[in-house]
Amino acid sequence: MTSSHTSSLILTATPADALIDVPRHLVVRGAAPGAHVTLTARTARAGGVVWHAHATFVADADGVVDASRDAPVSGSYRGVSAMGLVWSQVPEDGKSRDVFPQPVIAPLVTTVIAQVSHAGTAALAGDDAAASHAHPVPGNTSSVSFTQRLAADGVTRRDVREDGLAGTLYLPPGDGPHPAVMVLNGSGGGINEPRAALYASRGYAAFALGYFKGPGLPDYISNTPLEYFKRGMDWLRRTVRPAHDFVALSGQSRGGELVLLLGATFPDAVSAVIGYVPSALIHSAQNACDPAIGREGLTWLLGGKPLPHIWENNRTASWAPFDEGPPPHRHANAMLTALDDADAVERARIPVEKIRGPVMLLSAGDDGSWPSSLYSRMVTERLAAHGHPHAVEHLDFDHAGHAIVFPYVPTTQLVYAHPVSGKISTGGGEPDANAFADERSWAAVQAFLAQAVAARAPSQGQS
């Protein structure tokens, strides 16, 4: 715990230095009972862009403000939230979206300033404008900093550029062996290092594998061979020799579609599947397409042959609900038109019943990118209909959007230009609901993986 202060006000943050998924306890002491205390948080994130949030509280009868107990009367978020001053942050440049440090192993440092101010009744009623005109009490301030890390002490990072693969391997401290997770990104492409670093920090050998928009990789998702990912899993097994031969797949969005497809295609190689906002269907290349092929062109190849997708020979599919009208656009509106062709849906279904391991699905009730709640239910129903013998978990988060990641990061930037197509879209959701989904999903994923590893261990004859 660290703090600095002047006058009688003391602000503390506990713990001062920990992993990003650890909540911090922010407490102000020494205020006058009933005083208005404003907390302002500032974090320099990727590219040096500062993100900020503020919240004004009323001190209790003991002159204490506790962010994990008290709801602000005005500010960047509402309701009780220990980490509200982090997830409600917005970028000062008004446009940045990358919230993780560069490089990923660098720390994120947030500075919080507490200031006692005089405010009127409008601020007590939650009027942000009134709160912004509150007058500070000279000299009655305190500040504290806390550090969030994606990589725990002893976690190692290695660039992988071999066997035709492009990725990054993060290993936990210690000799191991450790169970392994391969991490796949969605239609933005690239290499998902933040999630891999956090998996490694929680005890998993984590391989973030890029498959387009990465070093030596194609610029687009079109015509991606599934054998590339099998080669990635084989490399991971040879390299880290995972405990109990456990290799899980974790994928986001198109990566969520992909991990289900890989589990069904290479069932002997996949120990467990974690699909964040996934699809039950194979989709066309969509916004990540090669423009020469088009967004209705194919995405996945197996044995050099295209896999049928939902837009192929679809009698009802229309891009109009996505293309028309002012931005931001909701991609999900176009996806829903494709589901009205039952024959096309059946042709494009991922045969998830072939997966030979536990499955976890995390979906969003207000997903602006595609209907991940519906898709996840389609997966669980198909698994149930085929008597899937392994655990199946589905967490659906009401009012949350497409960007479910992990705690505790800003969740405010809902509108974005797609990294490939440039189309201005919204992932949907509300910042508080997205923050809730980030927190609960990560706790559930860790429990799911621990159970999957434990279930795997006896079958391998290892302790």
**What is residue 99's DSSP assignment?**
-
Residue of 390, 179, 167, 350 lying closest to 263 (CA atoms): 350
Cα–Cα nearest to 429, from 421, 444, 441: 441
Retrieve residue 61's tokens. Answer: 């009868």
End-to-end CA distance of the chain: 38
Return the residue matching tokens 């919080």. Answer: 112
Q: Which of 303, 211, 217 is nearest to 255 (CA)?
A: 211
Q: Is 53 helix (H, G, I), strand (E, B) or coil?
A: strand
Indicate the pairing of strand 359-364 with strand 392-397. parallel
Residue 246: which H helix or E strand, with range? none
Query: Helix count (H) and strand count (E) of the chain?
Result: 11, 24
3-state helix, strand, coil in the chain (%, to 5): 25, 25, 45
Residues in the chain: 463
Could you give the residue numbers annotated as active site? 253, 367, 402
Specify the pairing of strand 17-19 against strand 74-75.
Answer: unpaired
